[in-house]
A and B are shown apart, each in its own frame.
Chain A
């Protein structure tokens, strides 16, 4: 069935370090891919998205490229900040007409000064 596998956390980095959070998916058809971020005590915010193969989504210095051949959508940032500390969720729209999101379990990122 449809599923998302994310890199297990927690991930702890120093400020200005390079970030990669791996994400692979199993889906029927040709899904749209998303990264959402959840700051402590808040709901989910869309970070970036990609809707077709080789598309690169980007926002706030974060990037992810839709790799159809490896069914992956890894999140990267060249230089993290303390304010990036949050939980990151990889997700995709499942098949069918209701456009429900299937999420990974999330990766907790902590950035230390």
Chain B
């Protein structure tokens, strides 16, 4: 069974640019959630996708957007990057098909905005 994978591992962007981060969910999982973890902080919920539709959003501006594909993999897009967007971006997959809603996290993408 393959776990959650994310790419790239690290990324450096300039303020104002756009970035796309990718996540492959664990086999059998139909839900993907994205979290932002700033240095020294706990992860903050960005949004969740269930069966290719957004299923809840945290307190993040519209320049944070996402997609989920038919194979349940997902992308996080951030436009007009700001310095404060520098963080570890974590993807988590889960299954809402049963009672076990545990979220399984990937290793994250470290984004640095200069």
Contacts and interface: CB of A to CB of B under 8 A. Distances in A.
Interface string B26-43: 000001010100001111
B106 A4 contact: no
A46 B96 CA distance: 17
Nearest to A104: B42
Contacts of A20: none
Nearest to A99: B101
Nearest to B55: A98
A98 B102 contact: no
Contacts of A105: 40-42
Contacts of A98: 33, 48, 50, 55-56
B42 A103 contact: yes
Nearest to A6: B42
User: How extensive is the interface on chain A, given as a class?
Assistant: 20 to 34
A43 B48 contact: no
Given A42-B107, A46-B102, A100 B43 contact: no
Interface string A74-108: 00000000000000010101001111111111100
B45 A101 contact: yes
A69 B96 CA distance: 29
Given A42-B107, A99-B96, A99-B101, A4 B55 contact: no
Contacts, number: 60
**Which residue, of B41, B43, B96, has the highest number of chain A Cβ atoms within 10 A?**
B43
Contacts of A22: none
Given A43-B105, A45-B105, A106 B55 contact: no
A109 B113 CA distance: 29
A49 B94 CA distance: 15
Contacts of B4: 43
B21 interface: no
B56 A97 contact: yes
Contacts of A42: 107-108
A32 interface: yes
Given A44-B90, A93-B101, A106-B41, A100 B106 contact: no
B8 interface: no
Given A103-B42, A106-B41, 18 more contacts: A4-B42, A42-B107, A43-B106, A45-B105, A49-B102, A98-B48, A98-B50, A98-B55, A99-B48, A99-B101, A100-B33, A100-B45, A100-B56, A100-B58, A101-B103, A103-B44, A104-B42, A105-B42
